[in-house]
Each structure stands twice: as C-alpha cells, then as structure tokens.
Amino acid sequence: MRQDAIDQSALWLADGLSRAADDKSSRLALDRIRRGIEAGTTTLDQTVQELSGGQKAQPGEFGLELAGAALVTFLLTTMQEFFKTYIKKLTEDAANKGVQITLEEVKKLFRKDAEDHPDRLGGQLAQALEKYGKEAGIDPDSAQRLLKLVKDESALKTVAKAD
C-alpha cells in the first residue's frame, strides 16, 4: 500500500480517536492537516516534522497550544506506525487471496476487527501508543487517556464507525 494511503488511514483513525475522546482542539488540528494534504500544500510527514520541532510550532499554530501539538504529533506518528504494521499483515493476507487492498478495504477490515476482536485490536493499538509515547516523551497523563480509550471496547467500536 502506498504511503499516502497509510497517511490517510492514520488521519482517519486519529480523527476517530479524537472524536471518541471528545477532543475538539485535536479534531480541528486534524481537519486543518487533512485540508492541507488534500490541497497538496503539505504531506503528513512534513506536518509531523513541523509540529515536532523541525520547524518549531508556535503557540496557537494549527489551533493548538504546544502541548496539544505534541499530542497530535504523537497520535499521528503512532497511527502511521500502527497502520504500516496492520496494513502489511492485511496485504500479505490479501496477496494470498489475490485481493487489492484499498483505503476502503482497510477501513472495512479494521471495522470488522473492532467488532470481532476488540481486545486484540485495542491491545495492538495500546502497544503502539506505549512504544511511541515513550520515544516521543509524551506526558504520561495524555498517553494514559489514549490507552484507556483504545482499550475501551465501546470507544473502539465508535472509532471504527468514523467516516
């Protein structure tokens, strides 16, 4: 699967998690990021680099304070890494079946996993959040909030239903 499809998947899931957490500032930032990517003025990697310090984010940039920017950066980076692994497995399974994986197929399979195996899927997301949270130096309270969210079966199902 191409990097832009991984990025779209990461944005989709990050937005779903932000909705489930009722985090309006993150949702606004993610919407702005998505519009920039769709307009072709930036890529997800460029945005993450800018937010994480490649070009120091200023308070209020992307509608966030610096702590919020760090959380969105962490969330996007984690979702990218999660989907690289998740899509690799789906692609291997699809190759065995001769199926082309598209973003809609990824969403469909993710939704099915959220319905059928929420504990396993939540565990995979939690592992990714813990790993990249430590690497990114994310505030433990922020990381714990996301960990609780991905381990909550009903929240995970709500996330999976996001457009």
Query: Could you tell me the CA-to-CA distances from 12 to 127, 141, 144, 163 in Å, in that order?
Result: 19, 23, 21, 7
Annotate 77-105 with DSSP letters as a single string.
HHHHHHHHHHHHHHHHHHHHHT----HHH
Least confident of 34-43, 103-112, 146-155: 146-155
Q: What is the pTM of this model?
A: 0.61
Band the pLDDT of 59: cuts 50, 70, 90: very low
| Distance of alpha carbon 36 from alpha carbon 13, whole angstroms | 18
Cβ atoms of residues 29 and 72 within 8 Å: yes
Query: Could you tell me the CA-to-CA distances from 29 to 25, 44, 64 in Å, in that order?
Result: 6, 12, 7
| Residue-wise pLDDT tens digits, 60-82 | 444 444 445 667 788 888 888 88
Residues 19-39 have a mean pLDDT of 84
